[in-house]
Homo-oligomer: A and B are copies of this chain.
Amino acid sequence: MNRYLIKIAFDGTSYHGFQVQPNGVTVQSTLMEALKKLTGENSTVTGCSRTDAGVHAREFYFHTDISLNLPQKAFIKGLNSLLPDDIKVLGAKKTENTFHARYNVSNKTYEYGFYLGKEDPFLHRYYLHLDKEPSVKLMNKFCKSIIGTHDFCGFSSAKRTVSSTVRTVYKCKTRIEDNKIIFSITADGFLYNMVRILAGTALAVGYGRLPIDTANKVFSTNDRSLGGDTLSPKGLFLTKVIYKK
């Protein structure tokens, strides 16, 4: 068997998340079908992350085992011709058979996007529209306060399946790009809905509706109700995945 690490990007709007679900089409099930057509084999697809329904990825990796010896071109040209327009293969390479697309991740970066000004049907698909401008300075104060190793239990939703809820945030920042505001976070791992809740909390802080001290009490109390809203998945992108050396 040959293990391949495949880099893709996808628009998650039409999918029930990455992971196979009993009901609904997922990115994983779509990839498995396309691989079956390409190779004739039933290959499993192991993703670097379990992105939620409606979340997008500019960069996402999965590994798969195939008996055939295939060049990168077979994946890029071949798989892309079998995949729908909202999932595209960007690259592929052979790896060690011990390499694991999820366990070998060192850190990942997610970005949550907002936009200001008139409502725009072309931005609406990927950004959350804001009627008034939040203070990016206040948002960045909150961002700075969550860098480090914390128990993010209170910043996640009840649907958690993991045992430890401690994660390390390496970077967190909010930046302005034209009429857009982008909340960006890099960590060694993320809990269920964690980025959508942190972005919603940053926004509430930015609007002055939520004092940073109250938001930070979520860490000591694990009280989800002290944080901000869980924002819509449409504004969330997985943008970078870094593997351990």
Contact = CB atoms under 8 A, between A and B. Distances in A.
Interface in A1-22: 9-11
Contacts of A121: 9-11, 85-88
A122 B85 contact: no
A132 to B, nearest CB: 13
Contacts of A11: 121-122, 125
Q: Which of A9, A56, A86, A121 has the most CB of B within 10 A?
A: A121
Contact of A124 (B56, B85, B119, B126): B85
A91 to B, nearest CB: 8
Contacts of A10: 121
A222 interface: no
A120 interface: yes
Interface string A93-125: 000000000000000000000000011111011
Interface in A42-90: 56, 58, 76, 80, 85-90
Nearest to A10: B121
A62 to B, nearest CB: 15
A10 B85 CA distance: 20
A56 B120 CA distance: 12
B80 A119 contact: yes
Contacts of A86: 121, 124-125
Given A11-B125, A125-B11, A88 B58 contact: no
A207 B58 CA distance: 30
Contacts of A87: 121
26 contacts: A9-B120, A9-B121, A9-B122, A10-B121, A11-B121, A11-B122, A11-B125, A56-B122, A58-B122, A76-B118, A80-B119, A85-B121, A85-B124, A85-B125, A86-B121, A86-B124, A86-B125, A87-B121, A88-B118, A88-B119, A88-B120, A88-B121, A88-B124, A89-B119, A90-B118, A122-B126
Q: Which 6 A-B pairs have the closest CB atoms?
A: A88-B119, A85-B124, A11-B121, A86-B121, A88-B121, A9-B121
